[in-house]
Amino acid sequence: MNRYYLAVTFICLTFFNSHAFAAKPVRPPAVPPPDVHAVKIDYTNGLVLIEGADLHPVSAAAELAGVPLTMDGSSTESLLQFPFTSDVTDAVDEMGNYVVTLSTDGGSLSLTAFIPFGLALVTPPPPPGEDCPCSTEWDDKSTAPSPSGFAGQTPYCSEDTGSYVTVQFYDIPANNYWVLRTQWSDGAGYCELYIDVPRRSLSNQTEFDACASYLRNIVLVWGNQDQLCLF
């Protein structure tokens, strides 16, 4: 075997071996598309919430009713949080179906979300005070979001005869009525959050005035849908 043949053989073996053992390029894993499970409204804290998986908060951008949303820094892969802004509350000013869009490094999607009430920021009414026996129950429900309470909702109806005052909320998605009422006549009366807690008796006119004042202020601050009361 001559030297020329050995040299050619060595070169060929080196060439084929280098290709046989060279590492193949590895493609980076594809970014999964966002998977939205629900769009919710946190009226108490003034937030639009998008729940799901692979939401990629670093690259996510969202719109509600055509208005860009500003993401809160505490958002995660499973929960995106967007505080209300004046532009958003102006666009979503009543009950209805609204388009939500979400774009991330993994892709984009568009869906329709039902929002039961406008997003206008509301100021909860002041507490009824110690004179009203229903103070604790009314305070708890007025600050709890659906379905546990009626925070931020507009009263479905109200009635005020002077001696009888009621304010009622109809939570449409939860199909649930919240009925707050108080009455005083012939030296006796009551207040209640129908039907969640027992009716509480009033001892005097002062207690009724405290409860009635609170209910009247709910209508003053939160508005009224002007429907006929059902309860």
For the four alpha carbons of 106, 112, 115 and 119, in that order, the dihedral sign comes to positive
Query: Where exactly are the structural domains of the chain?
Result: 35-115, 135-222
Helices (H), the chain: 3-21, 86-91, 135-142, 205-222
Confidence of residue 16 (pLDDT cuts 50, 70, 90): very low
What is the residue-averaged pLDDT of the chain? 82
Confidence of residue 203 (pLDDT cuts 50, 70, 90): very high
The domain made up of 35-115 is a member of CATH 3.90.1480.20: no
Identity of the amino acid at 59: S
pLDDT of residue 222: 75
User: Taking Cα atoms as reference points, which of 212, 15, 18, 38 lies closest to residue 128?
Assistant: 212
Residue 19 pLDDT > 70: no
Helices (H), 112-184: 135-142
* Cα distances (Å, whole numbers) of residue 121 to 19, 46, 133: 67, 7, 28
Summarize the confidence of residues 56-85 as an average pLDDT.
Answer: 93
Rounded to 5°, the CA angle 120-123-129 comes to 155
Cβ-contact 31, 104 below 8 angstroms: yes
115-174 pLDDT, tens digit per residue, is 877 777 555 555 555 689 998 888 888 878 888 888 878 899 999 999 999 999 998 888
62-75 pLDDT, tens digit per residue, is 999 999 999 999 99
pLDDT of residue 109: 93
Alpha-carbon distance 58 to 31, whole Å?
12
Summarize the confidence of residues 193-218 as an average pLDDT.
Answer: 90
Helix, coil or strand: residue 64: strand
pLDDT of residue 7: 45
Identity of the amino acid at 135: S
For the four alpha carbons of 106, 107, 112 and 115, in that order, the dihedral sign comes to positive
pLDDT of residue 20: 46
pLDDT of residue 27: 61
